[in-house]
Homo-oligomer: A and B are copies of this chain.
Amino acid sequence: MIKKWITKTNESLGSFLIFRLFKENVISPKDQKEHKVIILDTYNWVNIIPLTENNEVVMVKQFRHGTKEVTLEIPGGACDLTDENPKHSATRELEEETGFVSSEVVELGWVHPNPAFQTNKCFMFLAKNCKLEKQQNLDIGEDIEVVKIPISEIPDLIRNKTITHSLVIAAFHFLNLNS
């Protein structure tokens, strides 16, 4: 039976644009010894699988600074403080990044991006009957190309490493689980 650890001290290491870091001194319940851990605290994230009436997925191509590559992803981002809930965040990201609007958005599930050191969750949604009804409304610094991909091609695009983002793959896994 695994027990919880006790946090003895928690020291802020600062804010870094999209997250805050903390250093914690934690006590192991097994041997009562003290260990140091680093915690990355950030907003919850969302992503959304936008489906058109023709079973195409509305996807986004963008340059990603972590890997220095252009990726193929579904729309997504962080929950803003002004968003009512994760569904609101996901619907907002869909419309801002692509201009597509959905008639029905349903939650697929959520995951922990990395419970080892990150505090947050990523909520995943399906947007049905998406239609292009708005203009893209990008954040400063965003440069996003919208592409429509038949949903039947998604498994091969994951297999051949065209789609590589773990949270995008988690969303498609939940879509499979729910269908």
Contact = CB atoms under 8 A, between A and B. Distances in A.
Interface in A137-179: 140-141, 143-145, 155, 158-159, 161, 164-167, 169-170, 172-174, 176-178
Contact of A113 (B36, B109, B113): B113
Counting every copy of the chain, the complex holds: 2
Is the interface on chain A under 10, 10 to 19, 20 to 34, or 35 or more residues? Answer: 35 or more
A39 interface: yes
A61 interface: yes
18 contacts: A2-B63, A3-B63, A7-B68, A30-B143, A33-B141, A39-B65, A40-B66, A66-B112, A66-B116, A66-B117, A66-B119, A69-B115, A109-B161, A110-B161, A110-B164, A169-B170, A170-B173, A173-B176
Contacts of A116: 64-66
A117 B122 CA distance: 15
A136 interface: no
Given A16-B21, A173-B173, A66 B118 contact: yes
B2 A17 contact: no
